[in-house]
């Protein structure tokens, strides 16, 4: 199950999982690009189920997971990629914007984990990757709510990892740096994107595939003993 | 005090200490109360906010009703409009604000798989939204003054993880990232923002787990609220003038991140 599957990192992850032979459940708020991702997954010969869903709505998430299990079988892997980025200076950050950013990113991650856990606990198998951001570590003057949501996801993940470790479920965080997708373009100009790329230690911004590869590792059976960890995937921008 | 909340034994305002610092503190449980009392001992004036009238009265009693402490209780610890009214009241009463300490927090114990949305939201609201709305409410007053310090409360559990209290841990991790963002955003205006992360501390809630927790600490004991409060007053003080965006762990070495 991949949330945020309509675009960016989520879409690239869904396609990579299809290539790896998985059946893929696709969740996203945007129906049209979601359909397009589903078609691309099908074109790779993988079974898929896609349905528009607001991950911050606990009833809708419950229904979505039930439908996935009906169509594709038990959910063994979950990647919580969906997130929104509300960019506004702190002094102008409204309570509504704060609430929305926390609801989608942090509460949405909680709700999706909670929805898949009963099945994983019964089968004593599951791997979950939640998505942080390098901004959780650095702070972001114009994205306090986004950064807070990501810091919350990291500490939630550490806690959940310990809660379910004995049941054979592993939970980790991938924390991308600036990645070449639509999301950062919502608040950065192309010139700012290029400037960030130039100042990155590796001299470029991340591509979705750069983020997908370590995510696939966390989700794979090569990952046998790693849980509760944060992996920064950002070209060396954040090394602490 | 105002429609924002009810005051308990409000000071008479006759004592004028122009050079005295003024601080706002939310959360009058052990650590918040210890921080408030320590600040008063150091000559500051303190406005305290809690949802519990008795907690406000305890801190008033501890300073013998001194005019240096004004206490307000409100059930709406996470409401921005209430926070703004309380800050406005403090400014009207003492003329300025030098800093803010966010200590209000609650926790709970339930695994993720069984956690009702209401329980998740209850903890996020008080701990995280409560910290946010007060930071937002005090920022303009500190920006106007051109200096100031904010201390928010994290926990060793943000690092270690808290199985059974994932919502609590999530709020503490979120508060740290909020703190770093605030440090970036408000630094140019001369405002420092830091977090204090206590380890297991001798508090009323600890109960029978005390001995079990103490044995695992390098210092072989739990911290006291006063020891944590010393970290808070350091971070607020001029001694910490070049310290911002940091997490100060006052935990006896229980984690060493």
- ipTM summary value: 0.96
Q: Can you give the residue ranges of every domain in chain B?
A: 6-250
- For residue B7, list its beta bridge partners: B72
Separation of alpha carbons B138 and B160, rounded Å:
31
Place of tokens 């951001």: A133
Tokens of B249: 């762990």
Q: Considering the domain B6-250 in this protein, what is its CATH number?
A: 3.40.50.720
- Residues of chain B with C-beta less than 8 angstroms from the C-beta of A113: 112
Contact criterion met (CB < 8 Å) for A148 and B161: no
Mean pLDDT of A21-35: 98
H or E segment at A31?
helix A31-43
pLDDT value for B8: 54
At residue B81, the 3 state secondary structure works out as helix
At residue B230, the 3 state secondary structure works out as helix
pLDDT value for B152: 98
Surface of B (172-201) touching A: CB under 8 A:
172-186
Facing residue for A95 by CB, picked from B80, B177, B184: B80
Mean pLDDT of A140-147: 96
Contact criterion met (CB < 8 Å) for A144 and B170: no
Q: Can you give the residue ranges of every domain in chain A?
A: 2-232
Task: Report the side by side order of strands in the sheet with A230-233.
Answer: A48-52, A24-28, A2-3, A77-80, A126-131, A169-176, A230-233
Q: What is the pLDDT of residues B42-92, one digit of tens each?
A: 999 999 999 999 999 999 999 999 999 999 999 999 999 999 999 999 999
Q: How confident is the model at residue B12 (pLDDT cuts 50, 70, 90)?
A: very low
Q: What is the pLDDT of residues A177-199, one digit of tens each?
A: 999 999 999 999 999 999 999 99
At residue A79, the 3 state secondary structure works out as strand
Which residues have a Cβ under 8 Å from the Cβ of B208 and sit 6 or more positions away?
Answer: none
C-alpha A148: how far from chain center: 16
The one catalytic residue among B73, B134, B168, B234: B168
Separation of alpha carbons B146 and B113, rounded Å:
47
B62-76 residues labelled b (16+ CB within 10 A) or e (exposed): ebeeebbbbbbbbee
> pTM for the whole thing?
0.95
Place of tokens 């939640």: A130
At residue A92, the 3 state secondary structure works out as helix
CATH architecture of A2-232: 3-Layer(aba) Sandwich (3.40)
CA distances from B1 to A66, B29, B44, B47 (A): 52, 21, 20, 11
Number of CB atoms found within 10 A of residue A67's CB = 14
Facing residue for B185 by CB, picked from A98, A141, A151: A141
C-alpha B50: how far from chain center: 10
């Amino acid at each position: 199950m991949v949330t945020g599957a309509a675009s960016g990192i989520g879409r690239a992850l869904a396609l990579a999982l299809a290539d790896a032979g998985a059946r893929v459940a696709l969740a996203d708020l945007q129906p049209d690009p979601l359909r397009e991702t589903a078609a691309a997954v099908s074109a790779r010969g993988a079974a898929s189920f896609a349905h528009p869903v607001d991950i911050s709505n606990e009833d809708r998430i419950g229904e979505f997971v039930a439908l996935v299990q009906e169509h594709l079988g038990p959910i063994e892997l979950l990647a919580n990629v969906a997130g929104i980025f509300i960019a506004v200076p702190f002094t102008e950050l409204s309570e509504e914007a704060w609430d929305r950013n926390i609801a989608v990113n942090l509460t949405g991650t909680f709700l999706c984990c909670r929805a898949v856990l009963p099945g994983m606990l019964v089968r004593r198998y599951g791997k979950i990757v939640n998505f942080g951001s390098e901004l959780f570590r650095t702070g972001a003057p114009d994205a306090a709510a986004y950064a807070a949501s990501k810091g919350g996801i990291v500490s939630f993940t550490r806690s959940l990892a310990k809660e379910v470790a004995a049941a054979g479920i592993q939970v980790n965080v991938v924390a991308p740096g600036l990645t070449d997708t639509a999301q950062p373009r919502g608040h950065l100009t192309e010139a700012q994107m290029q400037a960030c790329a130039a100042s990155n230690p590796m001299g470029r911004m991340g591509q979705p595939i750069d983020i997908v590869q370590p995510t696939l590792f966390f989700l794979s059976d090569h990952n046998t003993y790693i849980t509760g960890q944060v992996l920064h995937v950002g070209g060396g921008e954040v090394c602490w | 005090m105002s429609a924002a909340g009810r005051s308990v034994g409000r000071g008479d305002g006759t004592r004028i200490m122009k050079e005295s610092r003024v601080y706002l503190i939310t959360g009058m449980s052990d650590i918040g109360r210890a921080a408030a009392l320590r600040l008063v001992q150091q000559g500051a004036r303190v406005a305290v906010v809690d949802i519990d009238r008795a907690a406000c009265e305890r801190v008033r009693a501890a300073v013998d009703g001194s005019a240096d402490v004004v206490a307000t209780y409100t059930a709406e610890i996470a409401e921005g409009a209430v926070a703004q009214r309380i800050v406005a009241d403090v400014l009207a009463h003492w003329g300025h604000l030098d800093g803010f300490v966010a200590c209000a927090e609650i926790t709970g114990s339930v695994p993720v798989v069984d956690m009702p949305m209401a329980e998740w939201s209850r903890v996020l609201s008080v701990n995280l939204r409560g910290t946010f709305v007060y930071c937002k409410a005090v920022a303009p007053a500190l920006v106007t003054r051109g200096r100031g310090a904010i201390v928010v409360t994290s926990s060793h559990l943000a690092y270690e993880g808290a199985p059974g209290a994932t919502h609590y841990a999530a709020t503490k991790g979120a508060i740290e990232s909020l703190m770093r963002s605030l440090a970036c955003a408000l630094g140019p205006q001369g405002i420092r923002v830091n977090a204090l992360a206590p380890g297991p501390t001798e508090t009323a809630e600890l109960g029978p787990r005390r001995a079990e927790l103490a044995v695992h600490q390098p210092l072989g004991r739990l911290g006291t609220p006063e020891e944590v409060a010393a970290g808070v007053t350091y971070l607020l003080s001029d001694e910490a003038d070049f310290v911002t965006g940091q997490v100060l762990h006052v935990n006896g070495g229980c984690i060493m991140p």
